[in-house]
Amino acid sequence: SGRWAKAEAILRELEEKCGTPTAKLRQVADAMTVEMHAGLASEGGSKLKMLISYVDNLPTGDEKGLFYALDLGGTNFRVMRVQLGGKDGIMKQEFEEVSIPPHLMVGSSHELFDFIAAALAKFVDTEGEDFHLLPGRQRELGFTFSFPVRQLSLASGTLIKWTKGFLIEDAVGQDVVGELTKAMERLGLDMRVAALVNDTVGTLAGGRYNNPDVIAAVILGTGTNAAYVERAHAIPKWQGLLPKSGEMVINMEWGNFRSSHLPLTEYDQILDAESLNPGEQIFEKIISGMYLGEIVRRVLCRMAEEASFFGDTIPPKLKIPFILRTPDMSAMHHDTSPDLKVVGSKLKDILEVPNSSLKMRKIIVEICDIVATRGARLSAAGILGILKKLGRDTVKEGEKQRSVIALDGGLFEHYTKFRKCMESTLKELLGDVAEDIVVEHSNDGSGIGAALLAASHSQYL
Ligand code: ADP
Ligand code: MG
């Protein structure tokens, strides 16, 4: 019937607009490399902020003692403590995950940091016998804060802007370590923030601790971002002394990348216009976990309106932004049952569509596939951009260099088809070099990494 023909037409148009042929991915990777150069050349020189992390030494494995870490960056935040045993490695670690009440994500700085400090204080109270703080010492913390920060030193930095659904205006421009420290003082919690790190930088540090070949880290979670080790002399905007190591970790803030080569659709444009941060984080908005399910919802909305996809009426729930979450999308996408019963039950539970035909369900799986494939292939192109910047995208005569990229984040971890597609695309793009480039899952690397950096920058060294 005409209804299916129209739905089919919308689907084919989506597929065409989301297309990421290899040649296009190479253009995206090249554009990424160009923007990396521009962002390193001067402050404000690019959409890519290429933020200096002040991390000029990565963990060596000698780190010792009890350290805490706090990871704030999405809907959950985590507190952890780790007993580092030097050459003996990690002796013990414990963590707790606390979800952030949504009203605090758009409230005041004071309230958010009070909430965080209170959760941290509660966690410190449960510290057991197998953790050892040397007598007379203050506890020290690595603070993983996954929003763009202009670092003033390793342990201080001002918030540039919020992303990923956070919007707390009075915190913008403030030193987030100062804010956290004041909240801890209000509570009487005696703890020093020894390092402030982006989650990508933490993941890089945690990855390097386990594997000396780690040169970059990528987060695919609620948002997306990357960090990598740059040669200090290749950072023209760096005014300070060159670090002894000759290296500096750069937090790219690649979520804000944009390029005329990115395949954008009308759905992306409207999603962006209606978002908390219009015009910003365009790469993030087509790749990351916060948005993929929402893009699918928007396609379904159009199908409902223009092709009566769900019948004569539009399911009211379908109109609610962000109601279709990426984990639900992923569950539908991975449905292998012959009648696609997972898709059927998601439609019923989330959109209150009680009866769905197999034909409808198949179209929905296809939408998920198109949207996830675009995101996964573009993330691979981003990684190629980094490898190109480092000259690690080609085989060097007589030289065998292995490059490991530490990957973390819920999207990478749980969305298997996304992950497989990203990995196979990277191989496709790399050709012969693919065997020297390894993608490694760095589980919870960002928290451990922050604790390790706190250890190597302890006031007691
Ligand atoms: P954050 O990025 O907020 O620090 P995570 O790295 O844990 O936290 O990523 C959480 C995100 O991962 C969620 O917002 C969601 O988008 C995505 N995610 C979690 N579970 C799944 C899943 N099963 N399938 C697809 N995406 C998932
Ligand atoms: Mg995170």
- The string of DSSP letters for 301-360 reads HHHHHHH-TTSSS--GGGGSTT-S-HHHHHHHHT--STT-HHHHHHHHHHH------HHH
Which residue is associated with the tokens 């480039």? 437
CB 73 less than 6 A from any atom of ligand 1:
yes
Taking the CA atoms of 265, 268, 271 and 272 in sequence, report the sign of the dihedral they define: negative
What confidence score (pLDDT) does residue 432 get?
93
Residue 185 CA: distances (Å) to CA of 46, 113, 118, 330, 412: 38, 11, 11, 43, 37
CB 202 less than 6 A from any atom of ligand 1:
no
Residue 236 CA: distances (Å) to CA of 54, 231, 240, 390: 15, 11, 10, 16
What confidence score (pLDDT) does residue 369 get?
98
CB 450 within 8 A of CB 205: yes
207 vs 68: CA distance, rounded Å: 18
199 is catalytic: yes
CB 74 within 8 A of CB 441: no
Question: Would you give per-residue pLDDT tens digits along the chain (461 residues)?
Answer: 688 999 999 999 999 999 999 999 999 999 999 999 999 999 999 999 999 999 999 999 999 999 999 999 887 899 999 999 999 999 999 999 999 999 999 999 999 999 999 999 999 999 999 999 999 999 999 999 999 999 999 999 999 999 999 999 999 999 999 999 999 999 999 999 999 999 999 999 999 999 999 999 999 999 999 999 999 999 999 988 999 999 999 999 999 999 999 999 999 999 999 999 999 999 999 999 999 999 999 999 999 999 999 999 999 999 999 999 999 999 999 999 999 999 999 999 999 999 999 999 999 999 999 999 999 999 999 999 999 999 999 988 877 899 999 999 999 999 999 999 999 999 999 999 999 999 999 987 889 999 999 999 999 98
Q: How far apart are the CA of 348 and the centre of ligand 1, in A?
A: 23
Q: Point out the catalytic residue in the list 114, 199, 393, 436.
A: 199
Which residue among 97, 143, 222, 407 has the greatest number of ligand 1 atoms within 8 angstroms of its CB, and so is best to mutate?
A: 222
- Ligand 2 (ion): residues with CB under 5 Å are 73, 199, 221
Secondary structure, 3-state, 233-273: HHCCCCCCCCCCCCEEEEECCHHHCCCCCCCCCHHHHHHHH
Q: How far apart are the CA of 411 and the centre of ligand 1, in A?
A: 5
The total of other beta-carbon atoms located within 10 Å of residue 195's CB is: 31
Residue 252 CA: distances (Å) to CA of 214, 263, 353: 16, 21, 42
Q: How far apart are the CA of 400 and the centre of ligand 2, in A?
A: 33
Q: Determine which residue's CA is closest to atom 3 belonging to ligand 1.
A: 74
**Nearest atom of ligand 1 to the alpha carbon of 293:** 16
Indicate whether this model's pTM tops 0.80: yes
Q: Determine which residue's CA is closest to atom 1 belonging to ligand 1.
A: 74
Give the end-to-end CA distance of the chain in Å, rounded to a whole number: 75
Q: Determine which residue's CA is closest to atom 12 belonging to ligand 1.
A: 410
Structure tokens at 177: 């370590």
282 vs 285: CA distance, rounded Å: 5
157 vs 177: CA distance, rounded Å: 7
Q: Determine which residue's CA is closest to atom 4 belonging to ligand 1.
A: 74
435 Rama sector, left if φ>0, alpha if ψ -120 to 50, beta otherwise: alpha
Q: Which has the closest alpha carbon to 422: 288, 303, 228?
A: 288
CB 294 within 8 A of CB 165: no
What confidence score (pLDDT) does residue 399 get?
78
What confidence score (pLDDT) does residue 400 get?
81
Amino acid at residue number 242 = L
Closest ligand by atom to 324 CA? 1
Q: Point out the catalytic residue in the list 49, 164, 285, 388.
A: 164
Q: How far apart are the CA of 223 and the centre of ligand 1, in A?
A: 9
Please, which residues have CB within 8 angstroms of residue 29's CB and are 6 or more apart in sequence? 381, 382, 384, 385, 388, 429
What confidence score (pLDDT) does residue 45 get?
96
CB 252 within 8 A of CB 223: no
Q: How far apart are the CA of 2 and the centre of ligand 2, in A?
A: 45
CB 442 less than 6 A from any atom of ligand 1:
no
What confidence score (pLDDT) does residue 59 get?
95
Q: How far apart are the CA of 326 and the centre of ligand 1, in A?
A: 8
Which residue among 295, 408, 413, 421 has the greatest number of ligand 1 atoms within 8 angstroms of its CB, and so is best to mutate?
A: 413
Which residue among 198, 326, 421 has the greatest number of ligand 1 atoms within 8 angstroms of its CB, and so is best to mutate?
A: 326
